[in-house]
Amino acid sequence: MLTTQQIRNSIKNNKWLIILPALLIGFLAYFTQNILPGDYEAEAVLIVTSNDDEPITYNKLVLNEKLASVYSQFLESEDLFETVSEKIDPDWKSSMVSKNFDYDVNPQGGVISLTYKDSNEKRAEDTLKLISEEFRSYARDYLHMENIEYLQNVTVSEASKVRGIIFAVIGLIVGALLGILIIIIKDIISDKIECADDIRELDYEVLADLTKEKETELSKIKRKINTTSPSAVVGLSHLNKHAQNIDVATDLSYLLNGIEIKEKNEKDILNKINKLKADNPYILIEEDNFNSPISINLADYEDYKILLVGENTSKNTLLNAIKELDRLGIRLLGVIYYR
């Protein structure tokens, strides 16, 4: 289970996964709303006039609601767009008209608002006029309605950028949320250790997290070793390649009033251990790799080992290493995480 801290760290380390989707979706939203449709917007308003002086009743309102649904069907008809596109330009497809057209029906007032965007001012006006007239023609032919009139004739103005800006802002937010979702999914399925909590989730003790305040974390290791045994030989083995910037053995030997052994020759190390045991309660041996022959052989003389695990180490690698130590009968005190 991901913690809030892990999510925060992942977001901090993968900002580009948030910024890129946000910018991309925001730009696409602005492009499709403001740039692609064109710079000019034609508008017209139609009204369904009453043929009698009877007051508005519930039945009339229900009828108007039903008619509104029919109007919507007319205004979304593929036949309508094909007829208009052929009159505007025989080479045009119906989608060239439908993608830039929008409408709104107010059933209570009987008002129908029509808009059409285009990069050409004259074509925007002509196209919306054709759409309006085709709609009125459909109403006459199929509903026998002769009472649809212009409340506002077709007018053309520069298209408002406000809607595109609003969509762009929404796009930025949606893109950022999508980026966060991608990061969370990436962390869930990732096999990489990105923080100390990843090791704790595998149910192994983290003796210290050296990405935090070093002195405090080293004191935690000292406390753990002191309470485990009044004297001990401890092997500090790197899970992978020895990181040159990590020198935990030196620092711990100072805190424990112990001594550090760095020799690479097994025989020399064994001789030193035998000589130093009497005068030093704690002996720390720095080992390049837990799986090296010398590290495995020294386990006979060590009370336990500590594994040093770096960032981006595979979780599976850590699991296999601990299983191997257990198989070989090597006692593991815990894990130190570093970056």
Express each pLDDT in 118-162 by its tens digit.
888 899 999 999 999 999 998 888 888 888 889 999 998 876 667
Residues of the domain holding 207 = 196-338
Residue 51 lies in a domain: yes
Residue tagged 């004191």 (tokens)? 219
Whether residue 66 is predicted with pLDDT greater than 80 in this model: the reply is no
Residue 58 counted as domain residue: yes
Q: What is the CATH number of the domain that holds 86?
A: 3.30.1890
Phi and psi dihedrals of 89, rounded to 5?
-160, 115
Say whether 181 sits in a helix, a strand or coil: helix
pLDDT band for 51, please (50, 70, 90 cuts): low
DSSP H/E element including 60: helix 58-75
User: Quick one: average pLDDT of 10-16?
Assistant: 79
Residue 215 has pLDDT above 80, yes or no: yes
Instruction: Examine the pLDDT at 58 and tell me if it is beyond 50.
Output: no
Q: For the chain, what percent of residues have pLDDT higher than 70?
A: 88
Residues 242 and 281 placed together within one structural domain of the fold: yes
Determine which of 61-65, 94-98, 189-193, 217-221 has the lowest per-residue pLDDT on average: 61-65
pLDDT average, residue stretch 192-211: 90
Mean pLDDT of 26-34: 75
**205 and 330 housed in the same domain:** yes
Residue 80 lies in a domain: yes
Q: Which of 158, 179, 205 is the last residue of a domain?
A: 158
Is the pLDDT score of 60 beyond 60?
no
Q: Mean pLDDT throughout 288-312?
A: 90
Domain count, the chain: 3
Evaluate if residue 210 carries a pLDDT over 90: yes
173 and 98 fall within a common domain:
no
Residue 289 binned pLDDT confidence (cut-offs 50, 70, 90): confident
pLDDT at 49 over 80: no
Please tell me whether residues 22 and 46 are part of one structural domain. no
Q: At 273, which CATH number? A: 3.40.50.300
Lookup: tokens for 62? 């229900």
End residue of a domain, out of 135, 158, 181:
158
Q: Do residues 233 and 211 share a domain?
A: yes
In-domain check, residue 135: yes
Q: Rounded to an integer, what distance in angstroms lies between the CA atom of residue 239 and that of residue 24?
A: 41
Please state the rounded mean pLDDT for residues 4-14.
74
Task: Give the least confident one: 11-25, 53-67, 101-115.
Answer: 53-67
Confidence band of 234 (pLDDT split at 50, 70, 90): very high
Model's pTM, two decimal places? Answer: 0.53
Residue-averaged pLDDT of the chain: 84
200 & 254 share domain: yes
In a domain, 229, yes or no: yes
220 and 313 assigned to the same domain:
yes
DSSP string computed for 216-283? HHHHHHHHHHHHH-SSEEEEEEESSSPPTT--HHHHHHHHTT-EEE--S-HHHHHHHHHHHTTT-SEE
The arithmetic mean of pLDDT across residues 7-31, rounded, is 81
- First-to-last alpha carbon distance for the chain, in angstroms, is 22
pLDDT beyond 80 at 214:
yes
Residues 290, 266: one domain?
yes
Confidence at 113, pLDDT banded by 50, 70, 90: very high
**Under DSSP, is residue 211 helix (H, G, I), strand (E, B) or coil?**
coil
Does residue 151 share a domain with residue 53?
Answer: yes
32 within domain boundaries:
no
One domain, residues 124 and 183: no
- Does residue 284 sit within a domain? yes
The structure tokens 């034609």 sit at 42
More confident of the two residues 258 and 35: 258
Q: Do 311 and 229 lie in a common domain?
A: yes
Q: Is residue 33 situated within a structural domain?
A: no
Contacts for 293-301 with beta carbons within 8 Å, 24 or more apart? 294/264, 294/266, 294/269, 295/235, 295/237, 296/328, 296/330, 297/266, 298/235, 298/266, 298/269, 298/270, 299/235, 299/328, 299/329, 299/330, 301/233, 301/270, 301/273
Q: Are residues 177 and 275 in the same domain?
A: no
Closest CA to 251 of 238, 242, 260, 239: 260
Going by DSSP bridges, is the β-strand pair 282-287/304-310 parallel, antiparallel, or unpaired? Answer: unpaired
Residues 19, 121 contacting (CB under 8 angstroms): no
The residue with greater pLDDT, 41 or 190, is: 41
